[in-house]
Amino acid sequence: MIGKEIRIERIMNRNTGRSVIVPMDHGFTLGQIEGLMDMTRTISEVSEGGANAIVLHKGIVRRGHRRRGRDIGLIVHLSGSTTLNPDPNDKVLVCTVEEAIALGADAVSIHINLGAPNESKMLEEAATVVKECNRWGMPLLVMIYPRGKGVDPYAPSTVGHCVRVAEELGADLIKTNYTGDPVSFGTIVAACSVPVFIAGGEKAGDLETLIAIRDSVRAGGAGVCVGRNAFQRDDPRAFVEALCKVVHDEVDPDEALAGCR
C-alpha cells in the first residue's frame, strides 16, 4: 500500500502523526453559507493558518486550490445530500475515486450515518469505495456518525460502534463525534487501529472548541476535522493557527489563542 502511505504523508504532520483538516463541503448540503462565499479566499486563509488538508467537492477544486501560497493537502469528498431533501441524512455518492485522482486528490472521504433509514445503502456504497481506494492506493477518510431516531449521537457506545464499523469496512482515517469525555473517547481510540479525528461540529466559542480538541488529542485522538468552527470565524487564519498549536505543539488553549491575536 505504498501509494496510500505516500498520500497520507501529504495530509498528516510527519512529526506528530496528527492532522488539522478543514472540511469545506458544507455548501453542497446547506447552500451559499457564511464563510464559503469566496472559496478562493477561504482556502487561502486556512492554508496560511497551517491546516494540513481541506475537504472539497469536485467542482470546487478549481476555485483556488494550490494556485499560490502555501501548499495544502486535498481530500475530495465523494458523498452528498441537501437540506432540501426530507431526509438530509440520506447520503449518496456524487463522485468517484477515479475522478478524485484526476483532480490531484491526496485522499477521498465519504459520509455514513449509522441509524439513519438508508444506513444499508450507505454501507454498501462505502464497501464499493473501499475496494476502489485499495485498487488505486488512495487513502479513505470515513466520516461516520450515530444519527437516527432515538440514537444518542455522543454516547460512547454509539460513537464506539461507528468507529468500529468504519475500521471494519477498511477506513484509513476516521472522523466521528467527540464523546465529550477524554476517558471514554480514549477507550474508543485505543481499541481502533487507524487514526480517529473528532468533528468540529456547529460553531462554538473559541476556547470551548480548543479545550475539546486538546482533550481529544491527549486521549489519543489524531486531531480534528473542523469546518464551520474554523471558516466561519472572523479571522479563520488566526483560529486555524491556534488549532495547529493545540494539535501539533500541545500548547494550552488559552496560550494558543493569545498568541494568534
Residues with a known catalytic role: 25, 145, 175
Beta-bridge mates of residue 111: 143
Name all domains of the chain by residue range, CATH numbers in brackets: 2-258 (3.20.20.70)
Residue 194 has pLDDT above 90, yes or no: yes
How much is the pLDDT for 66? 59
Running DSSP on this structure, what letter comes out for residue 58?
G
User: How does pLDDT run across 225-261, given as a tens digit for each residue?
Assistant: 999 999 999 999 999 999 999 999 999 999 998 867 6
Running DSSP on this structure, what letter comes out for residue 59?
G
The overall average pLDDT reported for the chain is: 93
Q: Which residue has the cell 485505543?
A: 190
Backbone angles phi, psi at 20, to 5 degrees: -110, 110
Question: Distance (Å, rounded) from C-alpha 242 to C-alpha 251?
Answer: 9
Q: Which three cell numbers stand for residue 110?
A: 465519504
Residue 79 has pLDDT above 90, yes or no: yes
Which SS3 state, helix, strand or coil, does residue 142 take?
strand
How much is the pLDDT for 2? 87
Contact call for residues 42 and 51 (beta carbons, < 8 A): no
Range in 64-78, 80-94, 121-135 with the lowest mean pLDDT: 64-78
Determine the average pLDDT of the residues in 63-91.
86
Check residues 229 and 140 and name the one with the higher pLDDT.
140
Burial label, 13 (beta-carbon count in 10 A; 0-12, 13-18, 19+) = middle
How much is the pLDDT for 100? 97
